[in-house]
Structure 1
């Protein structure tokens, strides 16, 4: 006799994050379909047969957030969420990913909110956003491709310090921050301030390697 199993669905949720004007933000889009039609939520899709890697994440951004594949700079796996009541339609496991857009990317259908001020969200999406904040704090000074995606190609010491404060991630002694950052070996001081918003006297940094793949951490997908 063959046993039958009630298999849960697998959803892929794509949480876009960015760092603008020294503020961390995350992106949501208005749902078109029930449940929660007309409500802001993290873009997501159900996993299709044969899909793997960043494919469904890009599909979620493309079909639910209006973001073309080429505007996605980097993705990182965030984790899985399996609350029994997370979706009223059926038992559904979510595999969530962080998504980092290119600097020139348009917003598409995304609406941005501060990462430290999460509005009411459906399903367990508020839990996913909080997990993203914690995860970013864990990797921001270790996964340099993520750091670069957040800070941009050039950034000031003030921007970097504010990012550490926002994520409660400061693995450095503030008075010796410049020495610590130079010691990482991935950035250098520059006098070229093109495209950088300067606020008083500050140090401007740029990445040593023009190819961010050299800075990629062990997890996730680079485009």
Structure 2
């Protein structure tokens, strides 16, 4: 058999789309429109289109726009899941990504997605539960050493909101004074001049911040 005659596997991208809802990390799912598992909620994903996708990231951007109404959000490659038995149709390769979207942006997209707590997602088709677990572990690990968790917040936020999102992602309580000292030492934020926000917990309007760079990685734990 010539090399070009070897059967080719199914190649897809699957996206663990994460957002914050009611102070818990949630994944966004869509019901499948075709067999196998028609009608079952699954990760957002689809086939790689060799005629229009220049690479896997282009496929992710296309699928997020078409199926979730989202563009310009943070996403990063997670890992590849490949085996003869992960898809009942054939030998299958999935290039998995995780993506972070603020709740407000997801709401504005206007697409009816099913949101489930990431730690109580229930049964999912294929090996999507394994992909979700891997994404959760990656986010928790990288979140301690980067500004990735802040991508779950709007562009402008309070210091308390930033600390809360780190605590949610890392799954632990953080000392307020130590957190603020580390954030200031790392020089990650810039104050939004002329704007403050009144919050329920604060007696006076609270200072607002934004990230200085879209993504920063540091060499010590937050």
> What TM-score do you get using the length of structure 2 for normalisation?
0.78
Q: Secondary structure at the match of 2:88?
A: coil
Q: Which has the higher contact order (CA 8 A, sep 6+)?
A: 1
Call closer, same or farther: CA 1:168–1:142 in 2, change over 3 Å: closer
Show CA shifts across 1:62-115 (max 9, x none): 34x2415xx342221111112432110011111011223464342413211111
Superposition RMSD on alpha carbons, in Å? 2.9
Question: Which consecutive residues of structure 1, in runs of 5 or more, have no partner in the other structure?
Answer: 219-223
Once the two structures are superposed, the pairs formed by residues 124-163 of structure 1 within 5 Å of their partners are 124-144=127-147, 146-163=148-165
Aligned residue number for residue 186 of structure 2: 184
Question: How many matched pairs?
Answer: 208
Aligned residue number for residue 39 of structure 1: 40
Aligned residue number for residue 201 of structure 1: 202
Question: Which consecutive residues of structure 2, in runs of 5 or more, have no partner in the other structure?
Answer: 218-222
Once the two structures are superposed, the pairs formed by residues 45-124 of structure 1 within 5 Å of their partners are 45-50=46-51, 51=53, 52-63=55-66, 65-68=67-70, 71-101=71-101, 103-104=104-105, 105-124=108-127
Call closer, same or farther: CA 1:208–1:215 in 2, change over 3 Å: closer
Native 8 Å contact 2:13 2:56 kept in 1? no
Instruction: Give 1:153 deviation, angstroms.
Output: 2.4
Q: Secondary structure at the match of 2:60?
A: helix
Q: Distance in 2 between matches of 1:25 and 1:72?
A: 20
Q: Distance in 1 between matches of 2:80 and 2:59?
A: 15
The structure with more helix, counted as a fraction of residues: 2
Instruction: Give 1:59 deviation, angstroms.
Output: 2.5
